[in-house]
Structure 1
Amino acid sequence: MRLKNYILTSIILLLGFSALAQYGSQKRADNLFNKFSFVNAAQVYHNLIEKDFNADYATRQLADSYAFLRNPDSAVVYYRKAVEQPNVPVAYYYNYAQALRGIKEYKESRIWMKRFKKAGGEINEERFLKDADFINSIFSAKQQYFLKEVNFNSKYSDFGAYEHDGNIYFASSRNTGVSTKHIYGWNEEPFLDIYVTDKNANDSIVDHKSKLKGDLNSIYHEGPITITKDGKTIYFSRNNYNENILGKDEEGMTNLKIYKASLIEDEWTNIEELPFNSNDFSNGHPALNSDGTKLYFASNMPDGFGGTDIYSVEINNDGSFGTPQNLGNIVNTDKNERFPFINSEGVLFFASDGHPGLGLLDIFGTVSDKNNNIISVLNLGVPVNSSKDDFSFFMNEDGLSGYFASNRNGGAGGDDIYAYDRIPQLKIEGTITDVTTNKPVPNAIVTLLDSDNKQIAHLETDEDGHYEINIDRDADYIVNIKKEDYIEDTRNVTSKGVENKVTSITADFNLNHIVKKVTPITELYPIYFDFNKFDIRRDGTVELDRIVNLMMNIYPSMVIKIESHTDSRGTSEYNNRLSLDRANATYKYLVEKGVDPARITEHKGYGKQKLANDCDGTINCTEDQHQLNRRTQFIVVKME
């Protein structure tokens, strides 16, 4: 028997660990998806579908992943499954229509576009019919970025925001508090310097005291920057100026170069020029990958595709550099590609006026295949991009927040820094506790169902009684909680009307113990009612008074619930109302006699759903037999 119990316990624990592992996989997949790592995200979504964990959600995410990977054949397969789901977001009708166009199924595409429009979607039919890039159409169909104010912009140029270790670094031509002002003749503004401010500072004043300490800032332009993970090395753009010497090319022009500096005793010093710079062309806008082994930058060096291109160069273990490599014509055009940024998953973002966009410089993300080869670029759409210049994109580790710069109308100055948030994944979470002890209930089985009672996810609470599951916005759900020796509990939860910035909905549960033994009480007897009435009869008051005495004087911790019924005669609707009236009358009697309402967990009417005998209308029954069904029963929920 002990071996059998051990095996059973082990199986239950494995199932619990498996469910928690699936939820961890879902969080990982969403994190990868948010960071444009669509190949890796797709693999995890496949696994979730195979495990049947939140499979509808994973199917939709997988379809989007294939679409962004420019694989319309696979995207169509999973979009087709997505649009068959009950209560699917209507945006997937649009996505499916676009993916069908990607495989030249134009007739079917028009059918689904009509369904999208009929469901309340808005479309520009002329643009839809002419747009050959179905990927960008899907990506831009729903606003993903939401802007928020930055309190340290000035009336001058501010851009290149870069967050590191709780600080925001940025380039600015402000010169507040400086007595000697150096003016750049091109735009009659002061030269750019690098500033730093505390991310959480409430004070919006960022003046000359906020400039980086040390030798980094000069009398010419500096910025933007990138910093190594350890915070000890900074790479930055600067005019060709070092050791008080301004370099120029053969035509007398001063180009940009990339330098690095070291942090020594809180000051940036030991300025070094990188070896692949030249007086004859510009290198600028440095960006590091996550492990610091590769530097990306913009350059107009010879043999590019035109204008400025994005390049990368290996950083060797000894600190030396390899040979710069052009990223190729998927990224670079005959116009200008600038301001590269690499997120924590190695995904490249950049600004370009050569790719199709909304205006001048637009910001783009890249999509790579399983071999890390860039296969396409995605315009980030509004509101990140506008009809003006939009550039210097930065994304935090979470993939859901960051910064960019723009000279769009309505800013504080020329170029301004904007912060953004992306719509975070919404989750439902909660803690299951014991109603008596208020202690957490571990290993309780949590089942999430949709509004049609279809199971979405199934897992167990952790040792702290906690659970969490990703859910869709604008949808209804049912959460069911089961645990051995406890009364099962179920609750309806909705995500409709939840604001975009909200990341979780809380649904806590307090479970009541099942009372298996009621030793002192052999039975609480039912009371009976006359036909078509809910008045408490005299014989009923005798039993009710006995229950009052038991609850108030003998068992002061006893908790009960009330269930009332009717016989089979009459309609279900009428009998449901009548049984509820009987339950209410019973409840009212006990409470008026002094029973604490909190000790009656529920009083419900069941109509003719739970007959005590076979008198269901199919056989002839005596009045005494019908009488047995016109009753209120009392169930002991807890004794101690």
Structure 2
Amino acid sequence: MNTKNYILVCMALMLSLSVFSQQRKQKRADTLFNKFSFVKASKLYRELLQNNYNKNYATRKLADCYALLRDPRNASRFYKSVVKQKNVPVQYYYKYAQALRGMKKYDESQIWLKRFKDSGGVVNSDDFSKDINFITSVFGAKQQYFLDRIRFNSKYSDFGAFEQDGKVYFASARDEGTAIKRVYGWNEQPFLDVYVVKAGTRKNVDHSAKLPGDVNSIYHDGPVTITKDGKTMYFSRNNFTEGLEVKDKKGLTNMKIYRATLVDGLWTNIEDLPINSDDFSTQHPALNIDDTKLYFTSDRPGSIGGSDIWVMNIQPDGTLTDLENLGDVINTKDAEGFPFINNEGVLFFSSDGHTGLGLLDIFASIKGDDEDTIVDVINLGVPVNSNKDDFSFFMNPNGITGYFASNRQGGRGSDDIYAYHRELVLHVEGVVTDAINTKPIANAKITLFNSDDEQVAYMVTDENGFYQINIDRNENYKIVASQEKYIDDYRNFDSKNIQTELTNLTANLLLNPVQDVVKLAEIDLNTIYFNYNSHAIRKDAAIELDKIVNLMQNDYPEMVIRIESHTDSRGNLSYNDKLSIDRANATYEYLITKGINPARITEHQGFGERRLTNGCEDGQDCEEEQHQLNRRTQFIVVRME
């Protein structure tokens, strides 16, 4: 063999060896990918790209690795190249749209979602494309949730916070303080264990806070939920029982839900529940308010998407019966998980299939007229949801505070626990009635004005004369009721210093019939006010009373009125009742001494502190100006002729 041929043979052999090496690397990368070892797999796919081997395939798989690692920045970077490939599966248009959404590039995401649909792709009927204004509406909505600081997060994954009896239970991969850490291939973090700390703890949490007993194993454990009596725990764990790890036909270790009982301060008597299987995952347990139903996540046969939320009944003896998929109002073709039921029976869950801001978002269910029927879901919006993963929502029984987890920017680790408090929606409600016959007035117009006398809302009363309008906290308002053939009535009130738990203020309104021949626009019977703990007529009140005397004697000699007097909330109830009656009597006597016929004053009543115009109830810290608004006498026109 001459030198030239020898060189060619050597080059061919080297090329063959190089190709064989790259083939082995791709096979190794695919094996790692199929075993969910995405960190290691992504490194090998990068090397394949650098060596220009099977570049299109390697780019797709690398992008998929980053998507599964919940890294939309790198995922979108490589999907951008993927969607330019010839004959690329249309599913990658959808994947690119999702990655862009995770980067808050919502307009660009819409473009690629439309391309996916135009290419024959099928999206959820509830996909975020159904409402092009969704992002604007969510970010523009009035904020109801406010974030509070948590001090026990680590640089690893922390999530699934559950609070009971002053303790917070959560799942964490920290394992801090131990010399040996077993690592999970998916994200190269230690396996999860269940930890428990005192609510509000401000110190670092290490291995000493691990849940005592038999719940924690050498694989994934958590999150947990506990019955109201504190004696039974349901928790997620890898398929690992009696020291043995069980894999399915694909070589994967699925998740199961186990049950433990509390014995002498230790969680033990671990029970593998019959709802589990070696062939699919069952995880994320949640209980309803009376511990009679177990909600969970599973990809079992019959699921609509990648994972669904299911429910079973818990019998008194602990037996689980009546397996039920929650249906397509909750579940989509994508992934749903992390169910939670609050004390009002509302289901909260996470999903990447419903209309959202990013990857996983947290949603709440909306019930129909039938309390057992869910008719829709609502996105909780910002700041609970972000463009990243938001999940494992929990709410305390007070309905005000709770926790969720997120891998959003600004956290300490990959997944962090966030605490929140809510400012519940506040509304004013009441009944509009006829002042003469006390019957409710239907279709009366209710108009709400702010402190600048600008109209902010209006509605009409129902057949029972009832109305309800949402209002902001810490504002001054005037509410006016009007109806044909009636004189308008109004109430001034404020929503300042209202307790967080309080959700409604009451403002009932009385309408007096208008006589057809009389125009009342010029009548202005102003409210008069009293000093604290006094029923004496002040100088400013006397001026207003003299105006009323003039109206009744000169302008409207047939007008009949009613007097209603009130107090602020300070003092006990019986004393305030007497004080308000004294104020009504003082007002009545003043008008009589000025020449008003007693027959033209039908009543002069005292209502004590029962009809406050604002939220200055007992125990509230109100300014003197706010209490002054409640120390008043009002005048109601009963008849004009």
TM-score (norm 1): 0.50
Larger RCO (CA within 8 A; separation ≥ 6): 1
TM-score (norm 2): 0.50
